[in-house]
Amino acid sequence: MWVKTLILGETVKKLSSRAVAMLTNGVLALILIVVGCVCFFPAAANVSSQLEERVIRRGTSADGVSLMINVYWGTEEVDGILDVLEEYGAKATFFLGGSWADDNTACVRRIAAAGHEIGTHGYFHRDHTTLGYDGNIKEIADSVQFLSLVTGEAVTLFAPPSGAYDEDTVSAAEALGLKTILWSKDTIDWRDKDADTCFLRATKDVTAGDFILMHPMAHTLEALPRILETYEKQGLRAVTVSENLSVQTAT
């Protein structure tokens, strides 16, 4: 009996030692995880935040809003949009795909001649996060060179297709002397093909400095006069993105 008790005691001691070791290792592992979270994730978040700060989503105008019209299709609607903008004395920034511009040089020249701003939307409608730095340089530079050749004007703004960008995208744009532009309001007119929906998204809670994204769609063209009239009633002017980016004084 005494021998059994001794053996049992030794077994309990061994089990206790193992339990303590496992608990100690678990605590150490937990500490390492916590330290890793504290040290690594804020740094990663900071990098992401720094990249986001290099992308411009709104302007600084005291009374201006900017229509960002991204174009890879819809030549007939582009012509109609230009007519409406002229009627209301409004200006816009057209971000043109190089492949579309190559097929529609007369329309590109009309946009420029009307005093609207032309930015690049890349040459083809590609996901710029998959291109790497050199791929981004080529895709953006090819479109910039072509648009400049057609209009005789410098291109200074870049809107990545689908709003997709990464460090390589923004760095490539900066190396080419371009600002990367995204929107503060999105009509999502490419998906929801309804003039009333487009109007609501372009005007609801709109404030000076906003960049409003749209495309040359039939229902967008239909909504455009109401959109511009609403801006006028609110004391807002439709101006180019570059004008919106410079500090303006309301008159």
Convert the pLDDT of each residue in 5-62 to its tens digit: 444 455 444 545 555 455 555 545 554 444 454 444 443 444 488 999 999 999 999 9
Tell whether 93 and 107 lie within a shared domain: yes
Bridging pattern class, strands 157-158 and 179-181: parallel
Q: What is the pLDDT of residues 87-129, one digit of tens each?
A: 999 999 999 999 999 999 999 999 999 999 999 999 999 999 9
pLDDT (0 to 100) of residue 21: 53
Report yes or no on 241 lying in a domain: yes
- CATH code, domain carrying 71: 3.20.20.370
User: What are the beta bridge partners of residue 211?
Assistant: 66
Number of domains within the chain: 2
The residues, any chain, with a CB within 8 Å of residue 34's CB and separated by 6 or more, are none
What is the reported pLDDT for 49?
Answer: 86
How does pLDDT run across 213-250, given as a tens digit for each residue?
999 999 999 999 999 999 999 999 999 999 999 854 44
Question: 190: domain range?
Answer: 57-245
Do 138 and 154 have their domain in common? yes
Same domain, yes or no: 25 and 101: no
Residue 68 and residue 48 share a domain:
no
> Strands 211-214 and 93-96, how do they pair?
unpaired
Using a 10 angstrom Cβ sphere, with 0-12 exposed, 13-18 middle and 19 or more buried, the burial of residue 153 is: exposed
Residue appearing with tokens 């439709």: 238
Say whether both 224 and 115 belong to one domain.
yes
- Same domain assignment for residues 239 and 172: yes
Q: Are residues 1 and 68 in the same domain?
A: no
Q: Is residue 250 included in any domain, yes or no? A: no
Q: Which residues pair with 96 in a beta bridge?
A: 71, 120
In a domain, 137, yes or no: yes
Q: Are residues 87 and 121 in the same domain?
A: yes
Helix (H) or strand (E) holding 67: strand 64-71
